[in-house]
Amino acid sequence: MNSLGNLVRNLTLAGLLLVVMAAPMATPALAHAIIVSSVPAAGATVAGPDIDLAITFNVRVDADRSKLTLTGPDGSSADIAILPNDSPAVLSGHLTGLKAGVYSVRWQVLATDGHITRGDVNFTVTP
Ligand SMILES: [Cu+2]
């Protein structure tokens, strides 16, 4: 093979390598879940006793394999029922009978890449 042929072959290999390396970056949907926003927002003060909860993630999450837990001002915890909604990237619930104080919602979610992530959203309820 002459030198031009070698050059063409090497450039083709380099091009293929770039495509292979770029492929994972072209599929951002396959990532673990990071919280984007929430209602109530972290650190917010909201009026009780009933509150709609919605946590939005950067990717679709598996609601059936995800878990929301509410811890109240007295330290007691309870599972939050995850309600159906229109967005696969949102977990929502409805909290009722909240007394005044600081609450924490612990979220643990399974994303499409198979990774579980978790975190907390704290907020204050006023009567
Ligand atoms: Cu991941």
Q: What is the pLDDT of residues 29-49, one digit of tens each?
A: 579 999 999 999 999 999 999
- Lowest average pLDDT, out of 4-13, 46-55, 73-82, goes to 4-13
- Ligand 1 centre to CA of 15 (Å) is 28
- Ligand 1 centre to CA of 9 (Å) is 36
- Ligand 1 centre to CA of 71 (Å) is 27
User: Contact at 8 Å (CB) between 68 and 107?
Assistant: yes
pLDDT bracket for residue 53 (50, 70, 90): very high
Residue 52 predicted with pLDDT over 90: yes
The stretch 92-118 carries a mean pLDDT of: 97
- Ligand 1 centre to CA of 40 (Å) is 26
| DSSP conformational letter for 49 | S
Whole-angstrom Cα distance, residue 44 to residue 122?
8
- Ligand 1 centre to CA of 115 (Å) is 5
pLDDT bracket for residue 103 (50, 70, 90): very high
Give the count of alpha carbons within 13 A of 7, CB side only.
3
